[in-house]
Amino acid sequence: MSTNTGTTNRPADKPDAGTYEALMARKGEIIRKAVGIDYSRFESGSIAFDYEGMMKSTGYSLDEVREIQNRTGVGNTPLLELRNISELARRYAPAGKGARIFLKDEASNPSGSFKARRAATSVYHARKLGFTGVIAATSGNYGAAVASQAAMHGLDCIVVQECFDSRGTGQPEIIEKARKCEALGAEVLQLTVGPELFYIFLKLLEETGFFNASLYTPFGVSGIETLGIELHDQIRAVTGTAPDAVVVTNAGGGNLTGTARGLHAAGSADTEIIAASVNLEGLNMASDTQFNRKSFTTGHTGFGIPFTTFPDRSDVPRSAARPLRYMDRYVTVRQGEVFYMTEALARLEGLERGPAGSVSLAAAFSIAQEMDRDQTIVVQETEYTGAGKHVQPQLAFARENGIDLRIGDPRGEKPGTVIVLPADPSMISAQDLTLLDLRRSYVKHALRFARERLGGAKTVETTAEDKEFLEAETRSSREEVEELLREELPA
């Protein structure tokens, strides 16, 4: 193995247009070689593709995925009942309401998050195919997960991050994750925010010949299915029934997709799958000036909504993460509410965890008050915490970037301007997004994507196969799909 060279704050290459265009013209070939999947095998119609066929193309059964994960200590994480937080929720719930809140403690995985599950399958497959190293483009916990698994399998690892704004200022949470990636043996390339990330990522894949350990391949998403199965089996052992609701922090969609597929495979067909994201409405995730005006680097609407309505915006031609197929409900919570519940988890339950899982915890705390007392709601994950992930350094960083911090009514929060910590737990309230709007947006993006694939065609002829695909993708009836298509297609 090569020696870890540590974090590299390399300025992004500024290639001339010809070099950039030439590389982008080869992106399909580069990705195909780096993943080992010929995505064209699954294409059909104008919009449709064989999603289930693509998922089965990994060649691994769920039992085999479990065995792969067991070899590196991934999975079999505990399910904990949050008795004190459940009792707190019941204080504010109507009579007879206040479901039991459980938590799947994914921080127990080797790298400290559920992403160890998707990395385990991906890195195992990379070694099986004979790759000498893996690359991941991520600012999140996935980099640490890939680095951890690469170390166990004797592979080199490069993690590419968007870390800094143009002033060279990096978010404490991202810097903490870079530290962890380094500690696990990875070389970390830290870039400023902007479009150069994908260019650098492609260039590295081509130059190194490493495996693309993408978050969005079937290998990664199928690795999360074991989480859903474990969750079902564990809560059934405690309560005798499947969970009534599972709340999943939603960003790129793989977390929700894999968990839901696992729950369905285990027999939890009636469990309500609820997506939760931090509301960062109004902030542009790719804006240099707004990059450091948010306190969450994942699990927010800046990722959650775009990847829900257009999953194929990922670094592979067809994403295996397709959350709209599986979600029954999508809610948002505010930054201050998530910080509050992160503290509550530590002080009431003795569990010091990072902020990502607290997104779904804040949502579950609110939603539990709508449910009956004999029902169960599960917070689907936790993540490790570290110096940059704690509430206080994140709030201090927000204040340094001109964000006003208040205690009061969270409804007064304005992303990028004001963070409001709830004055009282009763003020925590999950806000529903309208699924019909998300479905309408999905169809619009699907048609635009189809036009691009057809060479810029003005219209798209949709087949029965396309409509059947859209029914599954949007969880709609044929009539509803046809109505959505009529809204978008010219007469």
d(CA 253, CA 261): 12
d(CA 393, CA 90): 31
E strands, 365-464, where?
376-379, 404-408, 418-422, 431-432
Domain end (from 402, 432, 462): 432
Instruction: Report pLDDT for 8.
Output: 47
If asked whether residues 300 and 372 sit together in one domain, one would say: yes
d(CA 154, CA 157): 10
If asked whether residues 346 and 419 sit together in one domain, one would say: yes
Strand 100-104 relative to strand 79-81, pairing:
antiparallel
Instruction: Report pLDDT for 16.
Output: 53
Residue 332 has φ and ψ, to the nearest 5°, of -120, 155
If asked whether residues 446 and 389 sit together in one domain, one would say: no
In a domain, 311, yes or no: yes
Q: How confident is the model at residue 491 (pLDDT cuts 50, 70, 90)?
A: low
In a domain, 147, yes or no: no
**pTM to 2 decimals?**
0.94
Report the percent of the chain where pLDDT is more than 70.
Answer: 96
E strands, 165-200, where?
187-192
> DSSP letter at 372?
B
Assign 103 to helix, strand or coil: strand
Q: Which residues pair with 379 in a beta bridge?
A: 103, 247
Domain end (from 415, 432, 449): 432
Condensed to tens digits (0 to 9), the pLDDT of residues 448-465 reads 988 888 777 778 889 999
Residue 73 has φ and ψ, to the nearest 5°, of 70, 25
If asked whether residues 244 and 362 sit together in one domain, one would say: yes
If asked whether residues 311 and 453 sit together in one domain, one would say: no
d(CA 131, CA 152): 14
Q: How many structural domains are present in the chain?
A: 2
d(CA 37, CA 122): 12
> DSSP letter at 271?
P
In a domain, 466, yes or no: yes
In a domain, 301, yes or no: yes
pLDDT mean across residues, the chain: 93
Q: Is the dihedral of CA 460, 466, 469, 475 positive or negative?
A: positive
If asked whether residues 311 and 446 sit together in one domain, one would say: no
In a domain, 225, yes or no: yes
User: Do 394 and 173 contact (CB within 8 A), yes or no?
Assistant: yes
If asked whether residues 328 and 451 sit together in one domain, one would say: no
> DSSP letter at 424?
S
If asked whether residues 393 and 472 sit together in one domain, one would say: no
pLDDT-wise least confident of 57-61, 93-97, 419-423: 57-61
If asked whether residues 458 and 414 sit together in one domain, one would say: no
Assign 42 to helix, strand or coil: helix
If asked whether residues 463 and 369 sit together in one domain, one would say: no
Q: What is the largest CA-CA distance in the chain?
A: 68
pLDDT-wise least confident of 38-52, 225-239, 320-334, 414-428: 38-52
User: Do 333 and 276 contact (CB within 8 A), yes or no?
Assistant: yes
Condensed to tens digits (0 to 9), the pLDDT of residues 153-178 reads 999 999 999 888 889 898 899 999 99
Of 58, 121, 37, which Cα lies nearest the Cα of 317? Answer: 37
The count of residues in the chain is 491
Q: Which residues pair with 161 in a beta bridge?
A: 190
CATH number (domain holding residue 421): 3.40.50.1100
Instruction: Report pLDDT for 186.
Output: 97
* Residue 311 vs residues 17, 55, 125, 254, 325: alpha-carbon distances, Å: 28, 15, 23, 10, 11
Give me 202's structure tokens. Answer: 């492609």
User: What residues make up the domain containing 440?
Assistant: 435-488
If asked whether residues 274 and 381 sit together in one domain, one would say: yes
> What is the mean predicted confidence (pLDDT) over 424-441?
97
If asked whether residues 457 and 423 sit together in one domain, one would say: no
